[in-house]
Amino acid sequence: MSLIRTPRRFENRQRRHSFPGLHLEVLEDRLQPSASFLGQPWDFLASDLMQPDLDSPSAASDKAAHFRSGDSDGLIRPTLAATGISAAAGQKVDLGAVAQPATPSPTAKISAPFLPAVTPTLGAPQQGLSATASHSVNVQLQQGHHLTQIQTTITLRTDQIALSAATAHVVQHIGGNANQNWATYVTGTATTATGQGLVQDSSGNVYVTGSTDEGTTKAAFVAKYDPTGNLLFFKKFQAKDVSTGITDNHSEGHAIGLDGNGDIYVTGKATNPTSRLQDAFIMRFSGTGVVDPTYGVGFDTGGLGNVSGNGLVVAADGTATLVGTARFFGNDIFLAVIGPDGSVSISATHAFAPGSFVDSQGQQVFTSTVGNGIALNADGSLAYISGTGTHPGGDTDIMAMLVDTNSGGQAIAGFSYVPNAGNDSGNGIAVGADGTVYQAATSTIQSNGQSSTYATVIAWQGSLASANYGVYDQNTLTGTGIAVDPSGNAYLTGTATDLLGNTRALADLLDSTGAIADTLLIADNGSGQESGAAVVYSQDGTAYLTGNTSSSNLSTDGSALNGDQDAFLANVGGFMF
């Protein structure tokens, strides 16, 4: 069952707000169940309708309490065709009135009038996209898709995973056998840029997404390269929600995917110019980089906080499943399923309230969660999410989660975490041919009174009830992205330091037992610093990495570093097992 949540100014408080003829009771952190309005039953669906905005100046001046939603000015914009009530922009209407059916202005602001003995108290809701009543007020979203926070039960599978130092077949990173075949700067921006996501098609072409920072604005980008590193196209863009026509700014690309037709999908975050908050987005491009004008969805919290799309997987038919973080009263993992036509699956799209994560005694495990990566099992019925959970004491742990994709975890849901002192994070995730789930992470290891962070890999069984191994590389700093080959060898990227103390992008190869079989640092003689963000395995036995670099001597193709930092794309091969 879903619950309507109220903005944090009502959190954990019990108050009654009274105006002449209109009363609203707020109990704890949700509107109190039960229900009538104008003497009629009024059952709400928990998504877009929030509490009356009793603090708004207009509520005091015109004695009307507006219902808050995800619209640009904080008001819902209903359509009243089902009731026969029409309204123009700015007009106040009596919801009890009945007129001839009419279609209102899509920008109408509708206020509930103050009438005697009107006491709206809200019933236990179900998840959905509209608020319905005996007078049928249907919310029409004006910012994008408004995420719902649901309270469900996500059961703990295990918290008994212990990390250990990985056995290494190579003594130091520069002593590995792998080699850098080629590398290039992606954007050529005069300021800064970073690469965040990678995907490869069946022809061996590689697609990169990330963002450029021009100083006054950010822009997301998508670029396509052939297997030898030749640039086929590069396109910068701003996110757009096609249902509202709103074009965002300061867009960042975080993850990328492909469907069976070769269309390209990008998720990330961008600033909504009306709410001035960050919204998650998904957009689609043709294989030649042309924006699909019919496809584009923004995801917001209705003015409560920022949303970011961080992980993405796309099925052959174009069904996209993305994961990220939405801020309601804290950070929450959210899941979204978008059909090939750009429609959002209502039953499978929502944020998970932190109280959903419970142990075997039914006790809440996390106070907030962050979603960073996603992968599907072979038939697409289960989604595996990599993330980070914050415990009541503030400690953060690596967390892996599985949910059924049809209902977004309302039918099947489980999670596991790695208990470890210090602040840890779960990042990239991949599923092997045998169903093993590989998670890239950063863990904090304490030894002799000292704390150090290391790139970490956990190989979970498909049920998340146990792990084949959980290891960290003592010669590294962070683990961000992961890929797996058909034999169960894992390719890890992140950051490490070279012998001179410079930060480099990491390429680690772990065999099926979790031992480090080979390793390489990108631009190990670079003039600047590097960090790795994402990696994909190619069927030719090589791996592609992206991230960012400030080294002016990284490229092998003559491309130049024109600013302080650029995204890079590199191909690595010659791994020894």
In 425-554, the DSSP E strands lie at 425-431, 437-447, 450-460, 467-473, 476-484, 490-497, 503-510, 516-522, 530-537, 543-549
d(CA 202, CA 211): 25
Domain boundaries, the chain: 1-142, 159-573
Residue 160 has pLDDT above 80, yes or no: yes
Predicted confidence at residue 323, as pLDDT, reads 98
Can you list the alpha helix ranges (DSSP code H) found in 12-121?
57-61
Is residue 427 a contact partner of residue 372, using CB atoms and an 8 Å limit?
Answer: yes
How many CA atoms within 13 Å lie on the side-chain side of 112? 24
Place 169 in a pLDDT band, splitting at 50, 70 and 90: low
Is residue 138 a contact partner of residue 131, using CB atoms and an 8 Å limit?
Answer: yes
Predicted confidence at residue 112, as pLDDT, reads 29
Helix, strand, coil % in the chain, rounded to nearest 5: 0, 50, 50
Predicted confidence at residue 177, as pLDDT, reads 77
Predicted confidence at residue 176, as pLDDT, reads 66
Residue 143 has pLDDT above 60, yes or no: no
Q: Which residue has the tokens 């061996």?
A: 204
Which one is the CATH code of 159-573: 2.60.40.1170, 2.130.10.10, 2.170.120.30, 3.30.420.40?
Answer: 2.130.10.10
Predicted confidence at residue 138, as pLDDT, reads 28
Q: For residue 60, what is the DSSP state?
A: H
Give the mean model confidence (pLDDT) for residues 447-459.
93
Q: Which amino acid is it at 334?
A: F
d(CA 130, CA 136): 10
d(CA 83, CA 17): 28
Predicted confidence at residue 30, as pLDDT, reads 31
Strand 179-185 relative to strand 331-338: parallel, antiparallel, unpaired? unpaired
- Pick the closest to residue 379 from 405, 398, 361 (CA basis): 405
Residue 61's φ and ψ, nearest 5 degrees, are: -80, -40
Structure tokens at 292: 């699909």
Can you list the alpha helix ranges (DSSP code H) found in 302-405?
none
From residue 170, alpha-carbon distances to 178, 372, 485, 489, 577 in Å are 11, 30, 20, 16, 11
Which of 126-130, 440-444, 461-465 has the lowest average pLDDT? Answer: 126-130
336-392, pLDDT tens digit by residue? 999 999 999 999 999 999 999 999 999 999 999 999 999 999 999 999 999 999 999
Predicted confidence at residue 322, as pLDDT, reads 97
- Helix, strand, or coil (residue 306): coil
Is residue 141 a contact partner of residue 128, using CB atoms and an 8 Å limit?
Answer: no
322-337, pLDDT tens digit by residue? 999 999 989 999 999 9
Predicted confidence at residue 368, as pLDDT, reads 97
Place 170 in a pLDDT band, splitting at 50, 70 and 90: low
List, as one string, the DSSP characters of 525-575: T-SS-EEEEEEEE-TTS-EEEEEEE--TT--SSS----SSBEEEEEEEE--
Structure tokens at 91: 């007009």
Predicted confidence at residue 321, as pLDDT, reads 98
Residue 184 has pLDDT above 90, yes or no: yes
Output the average pLDDT for the chain: 79
Between residues 20 and 534, which one has the greater pLDDT? 534
Residue 437: CB atoms within 10 Å: 26
- Helix, strand, or coil (residue 173): helix
Give the mean model confidence (pLDDT) for residues 181-198.
95
DSSP β-bridge partners for residue 519? 508
Q: Which residue has the tokens 């950070």?
A: 331
Structure tokens at 569: 């794309």
Rg (CA), the chain: 25
- Pick the closest to residue 191 from 547, 530, 564 (CA basis): 564
d(CA 61, CA 261): 56
11-40, pLDDT tens digit by residue? 333 333 322 332 333 222 333 333 333 333
Between residues 226 and 450, which one has the greater pLDDT? 226
Between residues 529 and 80, which one has the greater pLDDT? 529
Give the mean model confidence (pLDDT) for residues 293-308.
96
Give the mean model confidence (pLDDT) for residues 234-250.
96
Between residues 135 and 437, which one has the greater pLDDT? 437
Burial track 328-346 (b if 16+ CB lie within 10 A, e otherwise):
bbebbbbbbbbebebebbb
Strand 30-31 relative to strand 22-27: parallel, antiparallel, unpaired? antiparallel
Q: Which residue has the tokens 């400030």?
A: 550
Give the mean model confidence (pLDDT) for residues 500-504.
93
CA dihedral angle for residue 61, residue 64, residue 68, residue 71, rounded to 10 degrees: -70
Place 524 in a pLDDT band, splitting at 50, 70 and 90: confident
567-576, pLDDT tens digit by residue? 999 999 988 8
- Any residues with CB less than 8 A from the CB of 319 and at least 6 apart, and which? 337, 338, 339, 340, 380
Place 294 in a pLDDT band, splitting at 50, 70 and 90: very high
From residue 366, alpha-carbon distances to 1, 369, 403, 410, 423 in Å are 19, 7, 17, 18, 14
Predicted confidence at residue 168, as pLDDT, reads 78
204-219, pLDDT tens digit by residue? 999 999 999 988 889 9
Inter-residue long-range contacts of 359-367, CB under 8 Å, 24+ positions, other chains counted: 359/156, 359/159, 360/155, 360/156, 364/392, 365/156, 365/389, 365/391, 365/417, 366/390, 366/391, 366/399, 367/330, 367/391, 367/392
Predicted confidence at residue 422, as pLDDT, reads 87
